[in-house]
Structure 1
Amino acid sequence: MPQLPPDLWSRPRIAAALATCDMAAVIEGVRTARGWSQGDLARAVDYSQSWVSRVVNGQQALTVAQVHDLARRLDVPLHLLRFDGTAPPTPEEIPADRGGERGTITNGSPQNVVHTVVNETTAPALRSITGGQRRMDSTSPTLDLLPSAVTHVQLAERMLVKARGTGHHSAVSAAASEASGFAAWLHADQGDMGSARMHYRTAVIRARQAGMRLLDVYMLGSLAAFEIDTAEDPELGLGLVQEAEHVLGPSAHPTARAWLACVGALAHAGIGDRSAAAHAIGRAEKEISRSGNINPPWPWVFAFDHAKISGYRALVGVRLRSPHDARTAFAEAARPVAQGAKQSAVLKVELASAHAEAGDVDEAFRLAVEALETGVRFGSARVVDRVRSFRRRYRGPGAVCVRELDDRLAALVTGTPVAG
């Protein structure tokens, strides 16, 4: 099969088609780039030629599942497709400051009111801001952090424009990737799926501009985890994991390979493939047992160890409705206090699901109430929605603990305080 040109996805017409999920233009671009006839294209995607003709001519609507299938068969990078029709801003689309950061023209003469120099301190300064925001995430409501995080992304993008043609472009690109990745995390916590995807996609693009393979993989894997866990689209998440594994290669650091295998295990579990999920967890365990699994590579902060794999095994058990396996794995995992408050609350809801499946209703609802309190305190729509979803799934007998959670959820809607 002819190889696709490396610059195909960045060509203006194809990039615009990807940004609006115009699959007719994307498919026709792939067909032309490979030198295929329409019959060749039909055979490659395993659809009839008449159906392919209608798609290419814009006469055949596609389901999301068909878009995923065609992208997989044609090697279209899934993370570049924009299902909501929005794309991340390019540096040129970021407006200049009113102070004239890029300069204004008056009587034909450039007047730079403000001139910012990008140097070896720029990228570390940008990264330190992101690092500080991440540390505050464990103690601050998301809505308090989100405006400054978005502003920081805009700052990083402006610095990236100024870094063009300098020896600092790669480092600033990496800093911009980190900033966008954190903004994506915050938007996801607020349930803003479109903005979260936009920022994750920007994070991947900036990582690739930086030429940092591990950062590229980390952002792709983070996007995959978002699609699997928050957007509840394990098929799309699995495709992104597979793309990240291709980028990572077979000889990467064990921490990176173990983490990515665990994200893949969540995708397999979400699909219901018990065997593939177990195989992925097994691969992760082999990786962390390698002698080289020390001093994790940036952007990972901690080495992937048995406790972390136990945590993923527990999440897999919840999704596969294996409550006893999940509870055992949760007991082996790192203590929740090691996590940030919001992430710890998410894990409490997962553990609550395992207890409920095992028939331990009191403990399940105790954990759910604790998670809800954290979600309300930190303004985390993600945590609150997880608790609501947990309650909707529960079909067991009523009890005092069940009524307590119901009262608290009702109070969120009515605004009335909970008695007692």
Structure 2
Amino acid sequence: MANALATCDMATVLEGVRTARGWSQGDLARAVAYSQSWVSRVVNGQQALTVSQVQDLAQRLDVPLHLLRFGGAPPPVGPVQKEVDTTRRREFGKAVAAGALLTAAPAAPPPSQAPHPVDETTASALRSITGGQRRMDASAPARHLLPSAVTHVQLAEQMLAHSRGTPFRPALSAAASEAAGFAAWLHADLGDMGSARVHYRTAVVRARQAGMRLLDVYMLGSLAAFEIDTAEDPELGLGLVREAEHVLGPSAHPTARAWLACVGALAHAGTGDGAAASRAIGRAEKEAARTTNTDPPWPWVFAFDQAKVAGYRALVGVRLRSPHEAREAFAEALAQKAANAKQAAVLQVELASAHAEAGDVDEAFRLAREALATGVRFDSERVIGRVRRFRRGYRGPRAGCVDDLDRRLTSLMTGIGAPGQGAGSGGGYP
């Protein structure tokens, strides 16, 4: 360390501080507020540093600047001076190592008495917060929930970092996974695809680190559903479903098997494989009908019953352009009042597509209008985007109901005029 300081070898200095503090390279990157890839290049000698960057790194790591020799090693002098320099360097190294350890835990009591920021209650507390947020999603706009959800993800990650070397780390990895998964859901609802994908990937990684099979499957399946239905990439989604099926195994809870089979059915329908989609829905119906499909296992919050399977059967029917089968399935799915108004609105748009395909234009656009009203009320880009997609896909004759929906969509974009006040199928939102 003394030689590194004397020659301003920041790669060795950074690695020495990281080792002294017991940090990972990611921890080091966060401490110096640079990206992990940048820090990796510096440590590996692949990144040259400016003087200002050296000073910045030293300040962030509490390395005294007077210990750094920007001009390289001093020129050789007499034996006495060499001995002095060697002693000084040795003392420099001791000072930096001691400073690094003291900075990591200032004025810490002995290890046996030191308080720890995590314990056996931390993970359950974090999970209860996420569970409450997920339930609030049924009645609150995603835009209102997102700031607190993102802050909660950061809190969960901080607690996870503190758990290194403790027996609580797997449970905290699971809590961080669930928090990230919910943040991903909210980002997707607001149409922020990039942020949604980043959080979903974090959720999958943390679930894998937790070593909890059902959570692993849930996050893989959630990412698959996102890629299939929101990103419209059924091939990628199908690959994720197959990986989740491999992780799940044959003896899991029926809720998990039924849900994953439905996600797979949606992927098969997206690729045009109607036979595989039908088989997957059949498996889901059998699992949902089992007597053991009662209390849903964590991380499922709501029971996955026959009504939910019917909703997926209806979605499959729409994608396979089977409007009559889709409408029958929608009737079964919507017979039981949905717990989440936004999810019900998504189904309404899909049902509108089935009616339009069957030639029932008035009913199709009535459903689309109601779904749009829900999307506006909850500020849900997911729902509004579905209505726009429905309208783009309609190729039938013009009618008053079509013009009315067009005016409503235009008003959302321009803010000019109240939606529904013109002629058509009635004024105002339902």
TM bucket by the smaller chain?
0.7 to 0.9
CA deviation profile, 1:176-227 (whole Å, cap 9, x unmatched): 0110000000111111111111111111111111110000000000000000
1:266 is aligned to 266
- In structure 2, relative to structure 1, the CA distance for the partners of 1:105 and 1:95 (3 Å cut) is closer
Measured after TM superposition, the shift of residue 409 of structure 1 is 0.7
Q: Distance in 2 between matches of 1:393 and 1:274?
A: 21
Q: Distance in 1 between matches of 2:314 and 2:362?
A: 20
Structure 1 residue runs of 5 or longer lacking an equivalent are 1-88, 98-102
Alignment of 1:236-385 (within 5 A): 236-335=236-335, 337-385=337-385
1:335 Cα deviation (Å)?
4.1
User: 1 CA distance for matches of 2:125 and 2:31?
Assistant: 22
Contact 2:270 2:319 in 1 (8 A): yes
Cα distance per residue 1:374-398 (max 9 Å; x no partner):
1122221111111111001111111
State the alpha-carbon separation in 1 of the partners of residues 129 and 315 from structure 2. Answer: 32
For residues 304-345 of structure 1, the C-alpha deviation after alignment (integer angstroms, 9 at most, x for no partner) is 322221111001001111111011001111547423122121
- Residue in 1 aligned with 2:391? 391
Instruction: Name the SS for the 1:145 alignment partner.
Output: helix
The answer for the alignment partner of 1:203 in structure 2 is: 203
Taking the aligned partners of 1:336 and 1:90, their CA distance within structure 2 comes to 48
Measure how far apart 1:287 and its partner are: 2.1
Tell me how far apart the structure 2 counterparts of residues 285 and 278 of structure 1 sit (CA, whole Å): 11
1:396-411 to structure 2, matched below 5 A, reads 396-411=396-411
TM-score normalised by structure 1 residue count: 0.73
Distance in 2 (CA, whole Å) between partners of 1:216 and 1:96 is 32
Identity among equivalent pairs (%):
73
Alpha carbons 1:189, 1:380 under 8 Å: kept: yes
Q: Which amino acid aligns with 2:281?
A: I
* Structural RMSD (CA): 2.4
Deviation of the 1:293 alpha carbon: 2.5
- Specify the code of the residue in structure 2 equivalent to 1:313: R
Please state whether the residue corresponding to 1:338 is helix, strand or coil: coil
CA contact (8 A) 2:32 2:61 kept: no
Rounded to whole Å, the distance in 2 between the matches of 1:351 and 1:94 is: 48
CA contact (8 A) 1:200 1:223 kept: yes
Question: Which segment drifts farther, 283-292 or 385-394?
Answer: 283-292
> For the structure 1 residues 362 and 269, does the alpha-carbon distance in structure 2 shift closer, same or farther, using more than 3 Å as the test?
same
Cα distance in 1 for residues equivalent to 2:278 and 2:352: 22
Equivalents in 1 of 2:381, 2:182: separation in Å? Answer: 17
Report the residue type matching 1:357 in the other structure.
E
| TM-score under structure 2 length normalisation | 0.72
Q: Which residue of 2 aligns with 1:16?
A: none
- What secondary structure does 1:317 align onto? helix
How far did residue 407 of structure 1 move?
0.4
1:19-418 counterparts in 2 under 5 A? 105=62, 108=99, 109-110=102-103, 112=106, 117-335=117-335, 337-418=337-418
Question: Mean Cα displacement is larger for which, 368-377 or 227-236?
Answer: 368-377
> Residue 21 of structure 2 corresponds to which residue in structure 1?
none
Q: Distance in 1 between matches of 2:289 and 2:32?
A: 50
Q: Is the 8 A contact 1:336 1:347 kept in 2?
A: no
Cα separation, 1, equivalents of 2:227 and 2:416 = 35
The number of aligned residues is: 327
- Structure 2 distance, partners of 1:403, 1:356, is 15
In structure 1, distance between residues paired with 2:194 and 2:305: 33
Distance verdict in 2 for CA 1:215–1:208, change over 3 Å = same
Compared with structure 1, are the counterparts of its residues 169 and 189 closer, same or farther at alpha carbon in structure 2 (3 Å cutoff)? Answer: same
- Whether the 8 Å contact between 2:307 and 2:336 is mirrored in structure 1 is no
Q: Distance in 1 between matches of 2:190 and 2:337?
A: 22
| 1:164 counterpart SS class | coil
Q: Separation in 2 of the partners of 1:91 and 1:417?
A: 53
Amino acid at match of 2:352: A
Quick one: distance in 1 between partners of 2:30 and 2:376? 34
Q: What letter is aligned with 1:178?
A: E
Q: Does the C-alpha gap of structure 1 residues 236 and 117 become closer, same or farther in structure 2, counting only changes over 3 Å?
A: same
User: Does the 8 Å contact 2:188/2:382 carry over to 1?
Assistant: yes
Q: Aligned pair in 2 of structure 1 residues 409, 161: CA closer, same or farther (>3 Å)?
A: same
Which amino acid in 2 is paired with 1:148?
A: S
**Which secondary structure state, in structure 1, belongs to the residue aligned with residue 195 of structure 2?**
helix
Aligned residues of 1:94 and 1:157 also touching (Cα < 8 A): no
SS of alignment partner, residue 296 of structure 2 = coil
Larger radius of gyration: 2
Alpha-carbon distance in structure 1 between the residues aligned to 2:280 and 2:157: 37
Residues 31 and 61 of structure 2 are in contact (CA less than 8 Å); yes or no, is this contact kept in structure 1? no
How many angstroms does 1:286 deviate by? 2.3
Distance 2:31 2:371 in 1: 40
Deviation of residue 268 (structure 1)? 0.4
User: 1:348, 1:180 → 2: CA distance?
Assistant: 28
Matched AA of 1:184 = A
What CA distance in whole angstroms lies between the structure 2 residues aligned with 1:315 and 1:119?
44
Offset at residue 238 of structure 1 (A): 0.3
